[in-house]
Amino acid sequence: MRLRVLGSNGTYPTPGQPCSGYLVEAGGTRIMLDAGPGTVAAWQEADPAGHLDALVVTHAHPDHCSDVFHLFNLLRFGPNSRSGLPALAPDGVAAALAAFLGVGEDHAFHRVFAWRTVAPGDSVQVGEAALAFAATQHQLPTLGVSVSVPGRRLVYSADTGPGGGLPALAAGADLLLCEATLQGEGADGGWPYHLSAAQAGTLAREAGVGRLLLTHLAPMLDPARSAAEAAATFGGPVQWAAPGMEVEV
Ligand SMILES: [Zn+2]
Mean pLDDT over 119-127 rounds to 98
Ligand 1 centroid from CA 139, angstroms? 7
Residue 181 confidence class, pLDDT cut points 50, 70, 90: very high
End-to-end Cα separation, the chain, in angstroms: 5
User: Does 188 score more than 70 pLDDT?
Assistant: no
Whole-model pTM?
Answer: 0.97
Q: Please state the domain count of the chain.
A: 1
Ligand 1 centroid from CA 144, angstroms? 11
User: Does 190 score more than 70 pLDDT?
Assistant: no
Mean pLDDT for the chain? 96
Ligand 1 centroid from CA 159, angstroms? 5
Q: Which percentage of the chain shows pLDDT scores above 90?
A: 95
Ligand 1 centroid from CA 143, angstroms? 10
Residues 27/210/10/17 CA torsion (nearest 10 deg):
-60
Q: What CATH number should be reported for the domain holding residue 53?
A: 3.60.15.10
Alpha-carbon distances of 203 from 13, 71, 161, 167, 196, rounded to whole Å: 26, 33, 11, 6, 10
Q: 121 lies in which domain range?
A: 2-248
Neighbours of ion ligand 1 (CB under 5 A): 61, 159
Mean pLDDT over 142-160 rounds to 98
Q: Cα–Cα distance between 42 and 151 in angstroms, integer?
A: 29
Ligand 1 centroid from CA 59, angstroms? 7
Q: Which amino acid, residue 160? A: T
Burial, 70: exposed, middle or buried (Cβ in 10 Å; 0-12, 13-18, 19+)?
middle
Q: Cα–Cα distance between 247 and 182 in angstroms, integer?
A: 24
Q: 35-90 pLDDT, tens per residue?
A: 999 999 999 999 988 999 999 999 999 999 999 999 999 999 999 899 999 999 99
Q: 216-241 pLDDT, tens per residue?
A: 999 999 999 999 999 999 999 999 99
